[in-house]
Structure 1
């Protein structure tokens, strides 16, 4: 039903008594009309449309309660239960690991700023948001209260085009400055900045993440984000929004790597540095977690790293065009895919760098489209405690022998099987969050927030 767009294949449900000759003329007609070749025909032994399974679950879970997941409610971070988010961010970076950590602090980041008389401006990119987004509501409130609100709404977000057009109109009517990004480039970055003026000084607070500002998908997508007041990152965020708004050319950033091209080029440069460090010290190690890996340039460089002896661990949920375990080519590369209760969506890139470790989070996968046709952000983890926490998370993923599958040289996958105690990474993260939430409830100190902040915090949590 699309007015534009090319067909890429024809899928045909192959029944048990299927007779291909019977529909030969129909297939020839379809191929000709759609401009496809015979090689673009795919015969599927099973149903083509799996979207109905969502409705089936709603019906079947009452009959098979033992097959349902145990209910899990994201945990509101204990450190924010007794301290105002902005005050804490002024002291140190805040790390959030969704859906184990609640997404509410990210929503409150915008809500509180909208209601704070000290707020001068809010700037944010929006790629996908929920149908009744509290973030959209907060941005409208901020504009109506006289704050300068700049929002980039990506109109080319696949399947959300119509939804985003409506949000853009609503935000414009509320007085927001709505921009639509760079020509021919999708803006897939996840960044928000709040600017406040207190005691004669301007303070900038920045949220950077790997996932969308969508409070609904944040309950079942695994993502990571930080809230920081680091001056270098804040200056980069200002330059980034000026660039998107057309007020400046592509800037030179202090800490951020911004595609098109810069993320790929910096990643390849970091791999090269790891190769040189390994040749000098023999301890090269790269860990990367992403949704998909398709970039030929990155794959070639990872092969080169493997051939130099660098150990490479890849955690890739979906498409992986790299083939591990080929002697002389990729024998030092290990690829696993973790598929569990939550959709693995966070992107993490780590380099040992002869103990001078480099760790980045990013909105981008190492895919050609992310590298050259999108505006993406990769940002460093500068806080040592957050760095250690993310490394522990990566360690758990690599030890998963319950939901993890490893890729073989023939491009098939097999479950990880060993004699070690069972490790289900997502279950471990859920239990960790629940334990920390319970510990916070039983040993919570007297709140340092004012009565108004406590009331506002309680209302936001509802």
Structure 2
């Protein structure tokens, strides 16, 4: 989320210039390809939902999962903490960008026709309501946890024995790392880092009545909650612990008043076009990120007015100030979910390892050579991807490995495999994306380690992110070379692969191999691809390919055949694609969209989008895969449908300012799994789904007396088609799903 320039962030979609003109151009482009008229873009607010408010609506759905009594208590608490972390990032990036526009008098309108100031006003109202609701949810969960012998204690609920233990803990584990700082003309208010949590005190010296004001920044090395010893979970927040022993921190002083506060700073990194050395630039920019402008100041309710004024003045003009009526720093509640209480968590789930690989004695190359295979994470283990690269590193017949790295995690087996391969004398190329937000520092470290091992490290484009997730392994076989490829909709990240639903596709198709080779040459050598056989990439052709596929469905309807589009993604923002979908709806194409997060398209509006339905799935796992399906003249699902997996959401940044891929799925088994299993399951889910209404609100899907269906449970309990292999034929098979509106 930065170097902070006085110019708007060029990489930030919310800050894209002249969206009204963009909309007009999108409609003009549609007209240039079709002779039928389209609806004029005369009322942006009636055509589009605001991007930022749509994101806040998504976070409301996340928060709603914290209220879902069907979930175990600590999982509900985890959803609450996620909603807090999401909101922090939203302010660090999105609100920071809008605030930058406002301060620099940049009046570019959003797609729905709002100025930055209007958007900030609407965001403030919506975010304040969300934060108030977070406090209500926390009080409810805290009360329910207490009924399960899980306590977060206020100071007045701590017994004498516990108080004695806490005092020893405070003296030995906390006090040595605390550094109070006096605030007076000789000691100005210090810098508070991003997400810094602090206490401010007004004190009076007992000996002579001399007043003093002290600031205490709570070090991040201290836990937010201290667990009392014993079998029963009892926690005390760090701020309450410090307050309990203020006399030990300030001996000889009387406490007159205190308050807690937390700051959020502008944390986006803007790329300078002339940056000559990206690594050096990012090392500097990461340090500057920590010193960005204060965007949000959150203060504890009940803070004395004089202290509140002092903190506000120190934050500077432009900070969005709000008061917390309860717990400050909701994201920190995640620490409590580490408690060993399996009865308050989801039953543990162990991903399956695909039988297809086992049937080939663990030989990934033999299994892929036999037939394309798709691995559906997290239901099937990410270890398959690691095994693929480990085998490549150890195989003497492998001569080259090429790999993109967007987010690899802190303990990355992927990095280890690439290093092992390079040390074994193989040609290894790693495209490391330094612009992976909040992972820049980690990626710089990995790049350094890879280079020391002899890996050829490439940082890609200065202005574009390399977001495509691709691996290539070139192997010597029978006197020639065969290339094995992996295409993922998610990151090469072992942690997120356990909670994000993503697709990993493995193939030895020579056409895909040739295309992948061109994509890597484009990233490493700026050699633009020509005559790609199967893969489509952005920013060269992906937008046009999507538009052409939508147009083809319109043509099917005109010819009297069914026109159908199913698409699954994280966000739908791009005005030109939205206009294409509106036009398809007007022509009679039936469109079902599964958009987990931001959706700027307004569905179900007569004359505009009455044939478009949008749902969002929020549940135990985070829906992350991007899948696009086109009926090709028949109702879906059907074997002829055009099915694609992709790394790209339908956003301007993905289609115009990132290197992304889209790949058609041709293998019949993989095709059936993705279309008939994954997409149908998402469409018929009734337990974790929300329907987007024309007014922008979301209604939770109800089974309406029918049979409930939970897509995550289905995939946790049923094997995949592609990964099951020959074992599928010997079993009773996988329960087939039928698409019926509103249920399975």
**Which secondary structure does the structure 2 equivalent of 1:108 belong to?**
helix
Question: In the alignment, what sits opposite 2:701?
Answer: 416
Matched, 1:375 2:659: yes
Spell out the pairing of 1:9-408 with structure 2 (5 A cutoff).
10-11=295-296, 13=298, 32=317, 34=318, 49-59=329-339, 62=341, 65-83=342-360, 84-246=363-525, 248-355=527-634, 356-392=640-676, 393-408=678-693
1:108 to 1:319, Cα distance in 2 relative to 1, 3 A: same
Q: Is the 8 A contact 1:360 1:381 kept in 2?
A: yes
Q: Is the 8 A contact 2:299 2:321 kept in 1?
A: no
Q: Which moves more between the two structures, 4-13 or 183-192?
A: 4-13
Q: Higher relative contact order at CA 8 Å, sep ≥6: structure 1 or structure 2?
A: 1
1:268 to 1:23, Cα distance in 2 relative to 1, 3 A: farther
Q: Is the 8 A contact 1:13 1:47 kept in 2?
A: no
Shift of 1:53: 2.5
1:310 to 1:19, Cα distance in 2 relative to 1, 3 A: farther
Question: In the alignment, what sits opposite 2:109?
Answer: none
Shift of 1:309: 1.0
Q: Is the 8 A contact 2:472 2:486 kept in 1?
A: yes
**Which secondary structure does the structure 1 equivalent of 2:718 belong to?**
helix
1:155 to 1:69, Cα distance in 2 relative to 1, 3 A: same
Q: Distance in 1 between matches of 2:604 and 2:310?
A: 45
1:237 to 1:48, Cα distance in 2 relative to 1, 3 A: farther
User: Unpaired segments of 5 or more residues in structure 1?
Assistant: 445-462
Q: Distance in 1 between matches of 2:727 and 2:327?
A: 47
Shift of 1:236: 0.3
The partner residue of 2:717 within 395, 408, 431 is: 431
Q: TM-score, normalised by structure 2?
A: 0.55
Q: Which moves more between the two structures, 241-250 or 127-136?
A: 241-250
Q: Is the 8 A contact 1:12 1:44 kept in 2?
A: no
Shift of 1:336: 0.6
Q: Distance in 2 between matches of 1:213 and 1:46?
A: 38
Q: Is the 8 A contact 2:376 2:720 kept in 1?
A: no
Q: Is the 8 A contact 2:301 2:323 kept in 1?
A: no
Q: Distance in 2 between matches of 1:184 and 1:365?
A: 18
Shift of 1:278: 1.3
Calculate the aligned-residue CA RMSD, in Å. Answer: 2.8
1:27 to 1:119, Cα distance in 2 relative to 1, 3 A: same
Shift of 1:158: 0.5
Shift of 1:44: 7.7
Count how many residue pairs are aligned between Structure 1 and Structure 2: 434
Q: Is the 8 A contact 1:11 1:44 kept in 2?
A: no
Q: Is the 8 A contact 2:301 2:326 kept in 1?
A: no
Question: In the alignment, what sits opposite 1:4?
Answer: 4
User: Unpaired segments of 5 or more residues in structure 2?
Assistant: 10-95, 100-294, 635-639, 732-744
| Deviation readout 1:334-383 (Å, 9 max, x if unpaired) | 11111011111000000001134111000110011111111011111010
Q: Is the 8 A contact 1:294 1:366 kept in 2?
A: yes
1:42 to 1:322, Cα distance in 2 relative to 1, 3 A: farther
Q: Distance in 2 between matches of 1:407 and 1:18?
A: 40
Q: Is the 8 A contact 2:382 2:494 kept in 1?
A: yes
Q: Distance in 2 between matches of 1:146 and 1:361?
A: 33
Q: Distance in 1 between matches of 2:513 and 2:330?
A: 44
Shift of 1:251: 2.8
| Deviation readout 1:368-415 (Å, 9 max, x if unpaired) | 111111101111101011111111221111111100011111111111
| Deviation readout 1:299-329 (Å, 9 max, x if unpaired) | 1111111111111101111111111111111
| Deviation readout 1:137-185 (Å, 9 max, x if unpaired) | 1111111111000110001110010110010011011011110102211
Q: Is the 8 A contact 1:12 1:41 kept in 2?
A: yes
Q: TM-score, normalised by structure 1?
A: 0.87
Q: Distance in 1 between matches of 2:382 and 2:399?
A: 24
Shift of 1:281: 2.3
